[in-house]
Structure 1
Amino acid sequence: MNAWMTWAVLAGVVVILELFSGTFYLLMISIGMIAGALFACIGFSASMQLIVAAVVGTFATIALHFSKYGWKGNVNAAQDPNVNMDIGQFVEVPQWNEHGDGNYTARVSYRGAMWDVELHHGNGESGKYVIQEVQGSKLIVR
């Protein structure tokens, strides 16, 4: 088997593994392997093919990491609407209890249950508020 065929088969195996992992990082490594296959077709030595595959795969992985599709970091689940469906919903607060220093709390019925509500910013007037965060059985609203 020619060197370029070996590179292409290895790249195909890595693409198949990427389908099982669900990330794009292995796909970037396979792009490096395809670059190695191209250099094998041109007739470069095995060491040059390895270097090109490593450099292209590394730069592709770094580019993916810093793109919008790369690693996102830790997201606070209490404030992420993709994790908690209550974030961004409205709740009606009929009356606030003031605890001094601008701290307001209330007890409201939301989705058929009683919840503690804490006002993040505001002056404690009754009305509709948007849920900003969920901490256990306490809703933080604004």
Structure 2
Amino acid sequence: MEESTIWWLAAGAVVATELLTGTFYLLMVAVGLVAAALAAHLGLPMTLQIIAAAIVGGGAVVAWYLVKKRRPGDPSARADRSVNLDVGETIMIESWNADGTTSVKYRGATWTAIHRPGVTPSTGMHRVAELVGNRLLVDPV
């Protein structure tokens, strides 16, 4: 069996594994294996084929890691309006307790609301920023 065939089979096996696990990084490794297969087609020795696989595959993994690291993360489910319909709603706060909580009537029930750490509590209209357990985290409007 030719060296290029072995590289192509390895790349196919890695792609199949990626489809089963959902790990995008395995696709980057498969790209490195494809580079090794192309090096084998060019008639390069096994050492250069391995080096091509390592440089291209490793470089692709590092590049994808850096791209993914720069992207802002998905918002927390606690603060996502499509998950919690309460996020973005406004409530009226009339007073705060000494422990930084307050009780508010919202949707026909009494809820405990809290403010963000470092924010001075104030009365008036507030917007629900996220749900923390069964408490509403609010920001002044």
Q: 1:138 aligns with which of 128, 135, 138?
A: 135
Aligned-pair identity in percent equals 31
1:81 deviates by: 2.4
Seen in structure 2, the aligned counterparts of structure 1 residues 37 and 82 have a Cα distance that, compared at 3 Å, is farther
Q: Which moved more, 1:131-140 or 1:85-94?
A: 85-94
Mapping of residues 25-36 of structure 1, within 5 Å: 25-36=25-36
Does structure 1 residue 5 correspond to structure 2 residue 2? no
Q: Point out where structure 1 has 5 or more consecutive residues left out of the alignment.
A: none
1:75 deviates by: 8.2
Does structure 1 residue 91 correspond to structure 2 residue 87? no
Structure 1 length as normaliser, TM-score?
A: 0.76
C-alpha contact 1:80 1:87 (8 A) present in aligned 2: no
1:62-114 per-position Cα deviation (integer Å, ceiling 9, x unaligned): 0000103x597998957552895257421312422253xxx753212345543
Q: Point out where structure 2 has 5 or more consecutive residues left out of the alignment.
A: none
1:109-131 per-position Cα deviation (integer Å, ceiling 9, x unaligned): 3455432112333552322x222
Seen in structure 2, the aligned counterparts of structure 1 residues 71 and 123 have a Cα distance that, compared at 3 Å, is closer
- RMSD over aligned Cα, in angstroms? 3.2
Mapping of residues 1-142 of structure 1, within 5 Å: 1-68=1-68, 77=76, 80-81=79-80, 85=84, 88-99=87-98, 104-111=100-107, 113-120=109-116, 121=119, 124-127=122-125, 129-142=126-139
Q: Report the number of matched residues.
A: 137
- Runs of 4 or more off by more than 4 Å in structure 1? 70-80
